[in-house]
Structure 1
Amino acid sequence: MYIKALDASTWPDFEQLVERHNGMWGGCWCMGFHEEGVGRAKTVAQNRAEKEARVLEGRAHAALVFDEAACVGWCQFGSPEELPRIKHRREYAKDAAALPDWRITCFFIDSSYRHKGVASAALDGALREIARLGGGIVESYPEESDGRSISASFLYNGTVSMFESRGFARTRRLGRNHWVVSKVVH
């Protein structure tokens, strides 16, 4: 497996991954955390067009994981301005200090590659790309999975243990099973 950044040259690879999975999560095209968001008023075609425009303009960031020539997973990251829409927003805002430099908001792994280390590779790739782009405080909102059975298809934020194994620390709870985790990347 190897990593490439999402950009105009890798858009076709990302596009193939998303299309193999019906637009991801009902046609989201991973727009849910961007300002435009998704919802009843949005079509799958609109989500796709908005994501492509963001990628081609350099306003969408992700680490893509490849197995040979096929893109098999990804980890989305960006500044809070790029990714302002997060889950548990009201609870997040209650105790929020300063915003981080970067947010890691979403993972997607091809269904035939789950439980094979692709999410970990994607996170490592995202952290390397964040460092290359200047680093800073990185924050994410993973789910606590210890002692619970959770379908891998629902772990769009990854697991707390995956982040902790890379030096992230829990800073506060969000909702019942999610945490804010953060670390400084150089």
Structure 2
Amino acid sequence: MTGLVARSLDATTWPDVARLVESHNGVWGGCWCMAFHPQREGGPKTAADNRRDKESLVREGQAHAALVYDGADCVGWCQFGPTDELPRIKHRKAYTAGPSTLPDWRITCFFVDRGDRRRGVASAALDGALQEIARLGGGLVESYPEDVEGRKVSSSFLHNSTVSLFERHGFERTRRIGKDRWVVARLVLQSALGAGLVSP
């Protein structure tokens, strides 16, 4: 992880994210990480729609992520936010069948540039997200990663990363919501210093 620095997503860092996403054709079929935000009116959205809407959310302060930089280049991110900002998750039916208390924060997706995978970028992004959550007040943080132990899974399909990554960052499994998908949770305390991530 040498040389990797985490920064927060905002209007000043948006162009760096946009360059990374555009170099990967919008990521996951042009999603621009909009799938977890509230459903929008109208029919199916194009990649251009998603880009426009994501940028609007960022500039309005309604989209959160910890970005990972290697020098001047953004090479990955971890998206997080309050539950009302990210209400949509995979395996919702199984999720809602369980305990009804919602977390304060959700971590919904990761992305790492194809040339920078297996360098610890996802770990740095998760660490950055937890630091930012602490700065923003802390609380119960939840995510929905996959257990890949004993299975070979392409990293490009692990949009919510792995259970083992979260466990290394202090999360615990709370319940299963899919064959290999778990709810993991961790309490994050508010940062006493209120220090955020490194500014660009």
- State the match for 1:3 in structure 2: 6
- State the match for 2:193 in structure 1: none
Distance 2:99 2:52 in 1: 33
Decide which of 162, 166, 181 is 1:163's aligned counterpart: 166
1:55 is the counterpart of 2:55? no
> Matched residue of 1:46: which SS?
helix
1:150 is the counterpart of 2:153? yes
The share of aligned pairs that are identical, in percent, is 63
State the shift of 1:138 in Å. Answer: 0.2
State the shift of 1:97 in Å. Answer: 2.9
- State the match for 2:196 in structure 1: none
Contact kept? 1:3, 1:66, Cα under 8 Å: yes
Q: Output one character per residue of 1:79-133: Cα deviation in whole Å (capped at 9) or x when no partner.
A: 1100001000000000123100000000000000111100000000000000000
- State the match for 1:12 in structure 2: 15
Alignment of 1:9-158 (within 5 A): 9-36=12-39, 41-158=44-161
Distance 2:147 2:90 in 1: 15
Task: Spell out structure 1 runs of 4+ moving beyond 6 A.
Answer: 37-40
Amino acid in the other structure paired with 2:59: L
Q: Output one character per residue of 1:131-182: Cα deviation in whole Å (capped at 9) or x when no partner.
A: 0000000000000011000000001101000101111000000110000000
CA RMSD, 1 decimal:
1.3
- Judged with a 3 Å threshold, the aligned counterparts in structure 2 of structure 1 residues 108 and 40 are, in CA distance, closer, same or farther, namely farther
Asked which structure has the greater RCO (Cα within 8 Å, sep 6+), the reply is: 2
Count of equivalent residues: 186
State the shift of 1:41 in Å. Answer: 1.4
**Structure 2 length as normaliser, TM-score?**
0.91
- State the match for 2:194 in structure 1: none
Structure 1's unaligned 5+ residue stretches are none
- Judged with a 3 Å threshold, the aligned counterparts in structure 2 of structure 1 residues 170 and 38 are, in CA distance, closer, same or farther, namely farther
